[in-house]
Structure 1
Amino acid sequence: MNNYKFIISGGGTGGHIYPAIAIANELKARHPDAEFLFVGASDRMEMEKVPQAGYEIEGLWISGIQRKLTLKNLLFPFKLISSLWKATKIVNRVKPDVVIGTGGFASGPLLRVASGKGIPCVLQEQNSYPGITNRLLAGKARKICVAYDGLERFFPAEKIVKTGNPVRQDLLDVRTKRVEALEFFQLQPGKKVLLVLGGSLGARAINELVKKHLSLFREKDVQVLWQCGKLYYEEFEKYTDNTIRVHAFINQMALAYAAADVVISRAGAGSVSELSIVGKPVIFIPSPHVAEDHQTRNALAVTEKNAAVLIREKDLDSNFEKEFTALIASEERQRELGENIRKLALPDATGDIADEIEKCIRKEK
């Protein structure tokens, strides 16, 4: 048994943090005696989420560059120097066998330092349009694990391995849990269920859309399982009744997917990967407020294969009712979208990423 040392860096958003934790869990299962250290940005959510998952984390004083002139931008050179200095101390102290980056500001200084010392580095890119940190680090990485085709535009082709994004393993058998799911959420069998997801914090545009169309859903005899987000729960919980179930956050996501006939969702990389595995018809409403509009690009990569419906926020008023009504009325269309999105699933992603990490280590030995 090998006593490997892993440093993993990724954060800023759940889309970078949860894949990092999933990769760590897979490596820990394979190498129980291995040592793990996460490195994140000192003021971001990874400083809370990683310890909750049972791992040690150290923070760097780092952030991105704002698009307009701000105090943060003036501080950026000092933050970068500070982060490179601390990253050097961490790498020298830990002496890792490999460093893994899943995106986010903190992974930049860390992987820059590690690669400069000849330590093998592996990147995991969740999106169809890579973040700036991973694009800058690509030349230094040994392997780049991706979830979409066509990333040769951004990364050296010889380094790319299409693995998919890490997802929760309990999603693999949701089709057997329909009865349990309906009972758990107190939904009626025999009626369609619409699952609405706007992310853990919620999405104003999606919540307003659902509120506006509650009468349409009742008219179509559709039950709604609505994760409105903790920022909006006090505002929208009053709409709960015997067919509308409003939740701040749904912890039992496997059961939520099992209950759903149709899903409305943002198009973050993790959501797209999960929805591909569960194989349900989806209406994607990408957030227009994310870097490089990457959610729209993620959704387009699916809809171009006739595997989902895409409605941009600016088109909701004109298109939503027509698109939803057509989808909910057609069992054939629902089945077609579900089957097509399932073809895009890569359920072994976490294990395949761990395989690539182990290959990098073995080459060094």
Structure 2
Amino acid sequence: MPRKRFILAGGGTGGHIYPAIAIASGLKRDFSDADIVFVGTDRGLERDLVPKAGFNLKKIRVKGFQRKLSLDTLSSIKEMFLGGLDSVKILRQIKPDLVIGTGGYVAGPVIFFASVMGIPTIIHEQNVKPGITNRFLSNFVDRVAISFQDSVKYFPKNKTVLTGNPVRPEIAGGNRIKALKEYGLAPDIPVVLCFGGSQGAARLNDAMIYVIEKVMRTKMFQVILVTGQRHYMNFTQLLENKGINTDALGHIKLKPYIYDMQDAYAAADLVIARAGAISISEITLCGKPAILIPFPNAAGHHQDYNAIFLKKNGAALVIEDKDLTGERLLKTIESIVLDKNKLSSMAAASRKLSQPDALEKILSEIKKLIG
């Protein structure tokens, strides 16, 4: 059997890159001698994440369009033209059996020209409401893989399949007893996990200051707060200025970053987070109730749609960023963790939304397309 060649195009944010890396890892497992090449830009996170994952990255010249018409629009048009030339050159050089797009403007020219050249193509949409690039490309590709049932209305039904969002399977493999012991937390008091993505979120941290002040004496629940590397020193200084020593308290754990998130999820009864595709896919895979605060500046407000989807299905409560205060957050936490029936029903609803076999479903569609 001839060696299979695959191109994965996507980038900009981790939400586009991590699913691509998961798919590439699955292809490497199922096609041991496959040639796998990523296409991205010099600007996005793919520049660092793809080589670290052990894959080859080829770069093209392309950038996104501003929402408003400006001089920068002319520059984007020029870059799009150049990106098209770069894409055709790469496609002719590699001669892939299949091209996979995972979103971001970089996927546009690669997927489009692959389709024009008769190369089988598939795109994967991570969010409930798709971005402009994937909505455009869906008219040309052979298959559209979606992560949420509500996304089907945006794409041609005859080529759209619900697969889910591929996340690391080990994320749901933590052991609760071991995790609680690791964090030094009590097994009989609810645990609230709060994080703002890989960089942290200042707005969430600010609200958690009030929560920590109120819960430091009552011990109604325990807290694991991931501040983000760049916010950690400032956050701990703010607590120190208020005379709060979390080390002495024992039930409030502060971390700048957590590498073994499976342990944090295993320990948690409730998760507070933004509503990026990766976060909500991990939260549902772990079957955790959530309080979601969508990032208001996300492209196309896609985090709002992600959060609303979980809320509509009973898996989350939503606080808009503009309405976020410490008082509001504390009341919302209490309304869930102090009500065992609500906590249990939200956990069940969250688990029901998960797609634990997302990667296998995507790989199955890929195998159909390449025969």
- CA deviations over 1:111-149 (Å, ceiling 9, x no partner): 111111000110000001001111111111101000112
Q: SS in structure 1 opposite 2:88?
A: helix
CA distance in 2, matches of 1:315, 1:230: 25
AA matched with 2:271: V
The answer for the alignment partner of 1:245 in structure 2 is 253
- CA deviations over 1:72-93 (Å, ceiling 9, x no partner): 4331122111111111110000
TM value normalised by structure 2: 0.93
CA distance in 2, matches of 1:314, 1:254: 30
- 1:351 partnered with 2:360: yes
CA distance in 1, matches of 2:172, 2:193: 18
AA matched with 1:34: A
The answer for the alignment partner of 1:6 in structure 2 is 6
From 277, 300, 314, the equivalent of 1:306 is 314
- CA deviations over 1:319-358 (Å, ceiling 9, x no partner): 3232222112111110010011101111000011011011
- 1:29 partnered with 2:29: yes
The answer for the alignment partner of 1:228 in structure 2 is 227
The answer for the alignment partner of 1:293 in structure 2 is 301
The answer for the alignment partner of 1:59 in structure 2 is 59
- 1:271 partnered with 2:270: no
AA matched with 2:67: R
Could you tell me whether the CA contact under 8 Å between 1:286 and 1:312 is conserved in 2? yes
The answer for the alignment partner of 1:107 in structure 2 is 107
Runs of 4+, deviation exceeding 4 Å: none
Could you tell me whether the CA contact under 8 Å between 2:172 and 2:265 is conserved in 1? no
CA distance in 2, matches of 1:71, 1:52: 36
CA distance in 2, matches of 1:92, 1:261: 51
The answer for the alignment partner of 1:193 in structure 2 is 191
Could you tell me whether the CA contact under 8 Å between 1:42 and 1:58 is conserved in 2? no
Could you tell me whether the CA contact under 8 Å between 2:275 and 2:307 is conserved in 1? yes
Structure 1 residue 69 displacement after superposition: 5.3
Could you tell me whether the CA contact under 8 Å between 1:227 and 1:250 is conserved in 2? yes
TM value normalised by structure 1: 0.95
The answer for the alignment partner of 1:164 in structure 2 is 164
- CA deviations over 1:15-52 (Å, ceiling 9, x no partner): 00000000000011000100000001221110110000
Structure 1 residue 214 displacement after superposition: 1.0
RMSD: 1.5
Structure 1 residue 2 displacement after superposition: 4.9
Q: SS in structure 1 opposite 2:187?
A: coil
CA distance in 1, matches of 2:70, 2:61: 17
Q: Which runs of 5+ in 1 are unaligned?
A: none
In the TM superposition, 1:33-44 aligns within 5 A as 33-44=33-44
Structure 1 residue 181 displacement after superposition: 0.8
- 1:213 partnered with 2:220: no
The answer for the alignment partner of 1:136 in structure 2 is 136
The answer for the alignment partner of 2:243 in structure 1 is none
How many residues are paired up?
Answer: 360
Q: Answer with 245-254 or 113-122: which moved more.
A: 245-254
State the percentage of identical aligned residues. 40
AA matched with 1:100: I
CA distance in 2, matches of 1:203, 1:106: 26
AA matched with 1:235: N
The answer for the alignment partner of 1:330 in structure 2 is 339
Could you tell me whether the CA contact under 8 Å between 1:66 and 1:72 is conserved in 2? yes
Q: Answer with 320-329 or 288-297: which moved more.
A: 320-329
From 254, 269, 272, the equivalent of 1:261 is 269
- 1:341 partnered with 2:350: yes
- 1:184 partnered with 2:192: no
